[in-house]
Structure 1
Amino acid sequence: ESNRIESINQSIQKKQGVAGCHYFSESVISPNFNVRITLNPDRERKCSRAVLRLAQQFPGDAGAMAPFFLNYLLIAPGESFFMAANEPHAYVAGEIIECMACSDNVVRAGLTPKFKDVNNLVDMLTYSMGGPNIDGGAYSMDNADVIRYSPPCPEFEVMILTVEPGKQSTFKNPGVPVIMIILEGSGAFDGKLCRPGRSYYWPANTDDLIFTVDSSKRGALKVAMAHKNLHLDRPTAINREDFGGASSSNHLNYPTSPRLPYMGLGGGSTPVNEDRRILSVGSKDYAEQGLPSL
C-alpha cells in the first residue's frame, strides 16, 4: 500500500512539474536552465548539456526541459521499443522505422514553432513511470531470415527480412495486407527489381514472395514489413507497466539495458501519441530517443 501511495505521489509531482514548465513564460524559463544545471551532480551533466543544446535550438521553449522528465537512450540497429498511447516521446537523431495505429491526433509538447495545446497535454498524459523496454525482436519460426517485433496490441507488428548476397528467401503470405519498405541493399522479388526507398503493397491471400539477391552484390537486402499483429499471444515487446523498478535518482534515470549508453536529447519535436500505439525500430546507425522516465 505504501508503494502504491508513493507511486501516486510521484505521478502527481511529475504532472505538476510538466504543467509548470509549459505554463511558464520565456522570461521565467530561460534563467532556470542555468540554475538547474548548477544543481546537477556530475553524473547528470550530460543531460544538462542536452538541455543547453535544446535551449539554443529552441530559445524559450519549455520543451527544452524535457530531458529532466524523460528517459534518454540510444537504440542500436535492430533494437526497438513500444510506446503506449498518451505518453510523450521525441525522435531526435538517426533513422528509425515507426509503425503506429491509425490516428489523426497529435498533441505537441514542445521543441516546435507549431501550436502547443498545453491544457490538453497536461490532462491527457498518463504520467506512468518506468524504465525503457528495449526489444531485440525474435526470429520467426517460419523463416530464419526474418526477425519479428510484436507489441502487446492487435493493430500491428513489424517484420525485418534480411537476404544475403547469393541467397534467396521465401516469405509466405500472412493472410493479411502487408506494407513493405526496402531499407538497404538491392535485389528482386516477383520479377521486380527493388532498391532502398521503394515501398510496396502486398494484398492478403496472394502468392508467396521469393526474394533473391545476386551474388555480385556487396550487401544484404533488408526489407521491413508491417501488418496486423498475428502474434498477439507471443509479443516480443511488453508494456512498461509490467517492467521497470524503483528509480535510483529523483531526477534522471539510466536505461535499463546495460548495452545502451546514457545520452541526452539533441533537438526535434516532442509529440504525444494520443489514442495510438507506436513501435519504433532502429534501422541505421544509432537513434537517440526520449521516453517517459521513472
Structure 2
Amino acid sequence: MNYTLHQLKIFLEISQSKSITKTAEKLYLTQPAVSIQLKNLQDQFSIPLTEVVGRKLYVTDFGMEIADAAKKIIEEVEAINFKTLSYNGKLSGKLRISVASTGKYVMPYFLSDFMNEHNGVELIMDVTNKTKVVRSIELNEVDFALVSVLPKKLNVETLELMQNQLFLVGGKGLKLKKGPSKKNLFEDIPLIFREEGSATRNAMESFISNNSLPVRKKIELTSNEAVKQAVVAGLGFSIMPLIGIKNELQNQQLQIIPVKGLPINTLWRLIWLKTKKLSPTAIAYLEFLTNRKAEIIKDRFDWINEY
C-alpha cells in the first residue's frame, strides 16, 4: 500500500459529498484532479471503493470503512501538528463556528484579535441561514454557533455578545406620504423578505402578524446582501438588521423609516451544546470573548448608538 494523506483527504470528502464536483469545489481542486486521485487510491485496493449507478456516484460498504479509517488517520495527523505547536508554547487546534447569515457583519470582529494572537489556530466558519446553523449544532459539527434567536429544542450554553436591532428601511428615493399610518405604509409599498428559515424573516413575519398589517406584495430573496441591494434599487422596503447597513446609511443610499414598534431588539449569542466537550482552543476562545467583548463592542460597534 502506498496511498497518500492527500488521497485520503480527497476520498473522505467524496464519501461525505457523494460527488466529484462538490469535492473539487470544497477542496479548491479541478474535477480531473479529484478523479485522478480517486483512481490512484482505488488502484491500491482489489475491492471497489465507489460505484456509479446511472449518473450518480455511490460509496460502497468497503469504501465507507476506508473513509472511516481515513478520518481517524487525518485527525491523528492533525493532532500531531497541533501538539507540535503546543510544545512550542502556541495555542493550536481547529475552531469551528457556524454563523447565521447576518452574523457575518458581527462575528469577524470577535475573531480577528484572537486569530492574530494565536497563529496555530485554524478557523473554519460557515455562514448560512438559521435553520442550517441550528442543524450544525445539533449534529455536533461545530464548536459554536452565532444566532439571534435561541433554538427551542436544543439544550445549549450561551454567551451574549451584543444587541441586534432590526429597522424598517427604504431606498433614498422612496417618497412617503407625510405621517402615513403603519397600515397604509405596508399596503402601499412592496415588502422584501428573506428566504424561509431566516431569523430575520421570522422576526418580520412576527411583527406583521402581531400588528395585523396588510402586505400588498411580497418579494423573496435568498441573502441579506440581495435584500439590501433590492431596497437600495427601489424595489421595495424591508425590515433589516442595523448591523448590516452601516455603509448604506452613511452614504445615504438607505433611510430608516420610523414605525411604532420598531426596532425589533434581539441579542447576538454564541451558543454550544451543554453536552459538548470543548477543546482547549474552544475554551480559550470563550475566555477571550468573556474578557474582551466589551472592548470589541466599544471599538468596533460604537457607531450603532447613533441610531
| TM-score class normalised by the smaller sequence | under 0.3
Higher strand proportion: 1
- Higher relative contact order structure (alpha carbons within 8 Å, sequence separation ≥ 6): 1
